[in-house]
Amino acid sequence: VITLSFAVPSVGTTYDMEFVPAEESPAAVIADISDLQAQGKKVVLSIGGANASVHLNSDAERDQFVTSMMALIVTYGFDGIDIDLEGTSVSISGGSIQAPTDLPMQRMIQAIGMIMDLYRAQFGTKLFLTMAPETAYVQGGQSAWGGIWGAYLPLIHALRDSIDILQVQLYNSGSMYGVDGGIYTQGTADFIVSQTEAVIQGFNTGGGFFMGLDPEQVAVALPACASAAGGGFTDSLTVRMAVEYLLGQGPQPGSYQLQQAGGYPTLRGMMTWSVNWDAAAACDGAWSFADVYERVFDPLATAIALREKQTLSVFPNPASDRVFIAVDGSSGPLDIRWTDAMGRIVRSEGHQGEGVVELSVRDLSTGTYVIELAAVDGAIRRAVVVVE
């Protein structure tokens, strides 16, 4: 799914939407969209963003919002829309998740429904619908109810049967509650796991209980680079471990334990802001986010090679002084990384990858760690090590 950003209100309005490509002509973008769709991809238009204020303050504004969005969808041939309303675009003053009292929220719910009806009538198929809210507007409803806190929940609830992907931005966020009552900080494996499970399991708010979505409606949304967001960038290893745990394919990477044993094998995928940032070599390596996605979800989809993952044999374990690891089938140097229970890299070192690798643990605090060895042949081996 490729999302183009952003459709924004024309100058002097908060409802008359326009989309002006920044780097190419409209005709070139239309041709690009057609080419992508021929490859089986969905292309959607995102509404809003951090710098746009979208408000529907009357029924007439609602109707013009619908008309202008349909014109953009038809002109460019988009498969759907992404709702990325931020800042003052969404707020609540009362009511409940099931029965919001704020008229702009009621009109936005009506408007999206109208767009979906018009799209189906014209094209004979469902409009592809995604949402990319910030955490305060969703999981933040556990902390407070009002203003931006929980403000997206009525919109998500009303359109839950139509949402294809909910991809809450797990960045530009303060700490958030998990459904276990713990508080988790962005940029960690625990944050990724706890906040993703929250929108699947559901949670209590001052506006009532938010019923979670199906796992196949949920994607993990993260920045591809530290420069892409004000906070919340997470290194590739931590991202992979967190998502594999969510899928039920890997060990628990931090202190947060999934409420559902076995995880969520049908989790929809991953989203990043943005493909442009992911291309930058300075951002944890060029295409590092795409690389993680391919390894976790679909290793055969592109030319990115799948690195073999094997379990290491570590002795003694638990350990208090040093550990010995047998490295079979690899030669040449190894890159070795240690990650703590919070998903943080605490040590990186190199070692000649032959025979038995001896590693000291005397400088590590008591706790559980994941050790990962990456060889020059692309093989990756991993083990959980307990330090006493």
Distance of CA 177 to the CA centre of its chain: 17
Instruction: Please tell me the predicted confidence (pLDDT) of residue 304.
Output: 35
Please check the confidence at residue 102 and state whether its pLDDT lies above 80. yes
Question: So what's the pLDDT on residue 327?
Answer: 65
Tens of pLDDT along 202-218? 999 999 999 999 999 99
- CA atoms of 127 and 108, how far apart (whole Å): 16
Pairing outcome for strands 322-327 and 355-360: antiparallel
Q: What is the pLDDT of residue 302?
A: 39
Choice among 18, 61, 86, 244 that is catalytic: 86
Q: What is the DSSP string of 345-368?
A: EEEEEEEE-SEEEEEE-TTSPSEE
In SS3 terms, 227-286 reads as HHCCCCCCCHHHHHHHHHHHCCCCCCCCCCCCCCCCCCCCCCEEEEECHHHHCCCCCCCC
Q: pLDDT: is 384 or 135 the higher one?
A: 135
DSSP state of 209: E
Question: Is-catalytic flag, 61?
Answer: no
**DSSP labels for 189-200?**
HHHHHHHHHHHH
DSSP H/E element including 208:
strand 208-210
**pLDDT, tens digit, 9 for 90 and up, residues 330-378:** 556 778 888 765 556 788 887 765 567 788 888 888 877 777 777 665 5
Per mean pLDDT, which of 260-274, 293-307, 331-345 is the most reliable?
Answer: 260-274
15 to each of 50, 70, 308, 371, how far by Cα in Å?
A: 16, 13, 51, 52
Q: CB neighbours of 40 closer than 8 A, spacing ≥ 6?
A: none
Question: Which pLDDT does position 214 carry in this prediction?
Answer: 95
Indicate whether 10 pLDDT > 80.
yes
Average pLDDT over residues 22-45: 92
* Residue 329 confidence (pLDDT): 53
User: pLDDT at residue 300 above 50?
Assistant: no
In whole numbers, what is the pLDDT of the chain averaged over residues?
A: 89
Q: Of 366 and 171, which is predicted with more confidence?
A: 171
The rounded distance, in Å, linking the Cα atoms of 318 and 361 is 11
Interhelix angle 288-296/236-246, nearest 10 degrees: 30
Measured distance CA(121)–CA(35) in Å, rounded = 24
Q: Tell me if 89 sits within 8 A of 52, measured CB to CB.
A: yes
Q: What pLDDT is stored for residue 303 in this prediction?
A: 38
For the entire predicted model, the pTM comes to 0.77
The CB density around residue 191, as the number of other CB atoms within 10 Å, is 29
